[in-house]
Amino acid sequence: MRWLVRTLAFPTKEAVEVLRQPRLLLVLVIGPFLILLVFGAGLRDTDPALSTLFVAPDDPDLAEQARQFADAQEGRLVVDDVVEDEDAALQRLRDGEVQLVVAFPPESEETVRGDEQAVLRLFHAQVDPVEAQAIELYMEAAVSELNQQVVANVVAEGQTEGADVEARVQAARAQLDTTRAAVREGDDERASVELSQLRADTAALALAAGPLAAVAGHDAAPGRAGRLNERVDGISDPEGFEAEADRLDTDLAAIESSLEEFRSLSPEVLVAPFRGETVQVAGESLELSDFYAPAVVVVLLQHLLVTLVGLSVVRETELGTSELYRVAPLRVGELVVGKYLAFGAIGALVTAALVAALVFGLGVPMRGDWLQLVTVLVAVLLASAGLGFCVAGVSRTDSQAVQYTMLLLLATIFLSGFVLSLDRFIPQFGWIGWLLPTTYGVEMIRQVMLRGVAPSPILLGILVGYAVLLGALGWLSARWRLLRG
């Protein structure tokens, strides 16, 4: 049982050393936690509003367009002013007084009538490529919206005109009935007069109803409108009068129906019949902070374990305690297992506190199984402790150990999928992230906590393999230190 006594020598000693250095815990856990919390909770879900200058020539129509554009982009744009001088506006942009300048094209109507697109220019001074790309995407969406608005206005005017046309159709159908009555009574003279009136009505209708019916989306309507004059000519023949009159009435009824429908639809639907809608099937949608929080636990756990184990081993070498270990009947395995137990217990306590704070304090969702979460975290903990031994193995002084630990933390933040998805990396570099144990931990903790599914067995297997490998390396490193100093 002496081996057990020797092994258990470390948990108490390490725990007392850590607890007697509250600043160390503060720096290692609370500090990064608060920073990441501010990052997660403080980040906007939407793009920030941009202070914008509009440049529009002194034209009431353009000014109205600019006003509509600004209204449509409310929340994304904050209108600083509407000016006429584009150069002055650009100077204010360069001076940093505004963030965006939207220049409306002069004589846009004439340009469009000349069969050319009028160019709406959007100037910005962003050097951040991500922000610049966001502005370009925004520009595309905004111009598309503006185009839709213009077309919607045209359609609305068409709908107003459609009311007159519809009245004409109704008048033509009444005239057809009058003509039909005159023909049936055998009053040829009156029938001829009524037929002339009907011809005049349908000729006007053929011109007006065709384009409107086409806009309304009835493919057959323009054909019907074009055939009206032929139908009227057909009913001039007394033998086929009734049949042709019925056809004419059917066409007029169809045109009337199309126009009625056209007028009943909103212009916005007519110009943009489709809109996109995304549905998230992995449970309720998440806040940005909810998404990052579980990964924070993994990142902090690794940072804590690597730092504590690394510094502990290196300091014992610097202090000369490892010399005492070499003279004492202490085996390498007892030392390594003792440290695993010591820092494993500390790491477990800190992790439990962090998870509790996130789930019960900040309301981060925990959709999966707690046991699976514990499994993932234990695997991360063991791999991180092994990594700590490896850091100690390559560090001669504690300042070197701190530097390596910070390097590892940077790699973890940028390459483990913590901030940016690994899919965003090009294949030549994306694999580097998978060299870090945290990458597996981040992915699996998101699976368990956010998706509510079991951790991937492959990822878990690799992480456990990593933990074993790093533990073996840690054992070799500790053995080398004990035997060679």
Partner 1 sequence: MQTHAPSSSERRPPRPAPAILARGVRQRLGGTDVVNGLDIEVSPGTIFGFIGPSGSGKTTTIRMLTGIQQPTEGRVEVLGKPPAAFSTKDRARIGYLPQLSVLFPELSLWQNLSFVASIYGMGWPRRRRLRRVLELVELWDDRRKRLRDASGGMQRRLALAAALVHDPEVMFLDEPTAGVDPMLRRKFWERLEALRDEGRTLFVTTQYVGEAAFCDVVGVISDGWLVALDTPDGLRRRAFGGQLLDIRTVGPLDEATMAQLFRLEPVLRCDRVGADRQQLRVVVERAAEAIPRIADWFDDRGVPLESIREDQPPFDDVFVALVQGSRS
Q: Which residues bind partner 1 (CB under 8 A)?
A: 1-3, 5-6, 8-9, 12-13, 16-17, 20-21, 319-321, 323-331, 485
User: Which residue, 290 or 334, is less far from partner 1 as judged by CB?
Assistant: 334
User: Which residue, 2 or 424, is less far from partner 1 as judged by CB?
Assistant: 2
Query: Position of tokens 């006594």?
Result: 5
Closest approach of partner 1 to the CB of residue 321, in Å: 5
Closest approach of partner 1 to the CB of residue 316, in Å: 8
Closest approach of partner 1 to the CB of residue 318, in Å: 10
Residue 403: C-alpha distances to residues 27, 306, 397 (Å)? 15, 12, 10
Closest approach of partner 1 to the CB of residue 392, in Å: 17
Closest approach of partner 1 to the CB of residue 8, in Å: 7
Closest approach of partner 1 to the CB of residue 28, in Å: 16
Cβ-based burial of 114 (10 A; exposed 0-12, middle 13-18, buried ≥19): exposed
Closest approach of partner 1 to the CB of residue 7, in Å: 9
Closest approach of partner 1 to the CB of residue 24, in Å: 10
Distance CA 205, CA 220 (A): 15
Closest approach of partner 1 to the CB of residue 328, in Å: 5
User: Which residue, 9 or 63, is less far from partner 1 as judged by CB?
Assistant: 9
User: Which residue, 5 or 426, is less far from partner 1 as judged by CB?
Assistant: 5
User: Which residue, 317 or 375, is less far from partner 1 as judged by CB?
Assistant: 317
Distance CA 364, CA 376 (A): 17
8 Å CB contact between 101 and 82:
no
User: Which residue, 335 or 450, is less far from partner 1 as judged by CB?
Assistant: 335
User: Which residue, 121 or 326, is less far from partner 1 as judged by CB?
Assistant: 326
Closest approach of partner 1 to the CB of residue 390, in Å: 23
User: Which residue, 298 or 342, is less far from partner 1 as judged by CB?
Assistant: 342
For residue 318, give every residue at least 6 positions away whose Cβ sits within 8 Å of its Cβ, in sequence order, or none: 397, 398
Closest approach of partner 1 to the CB of residue 23, in Å: 12
8 Å CB contact between 142 and 103:
no
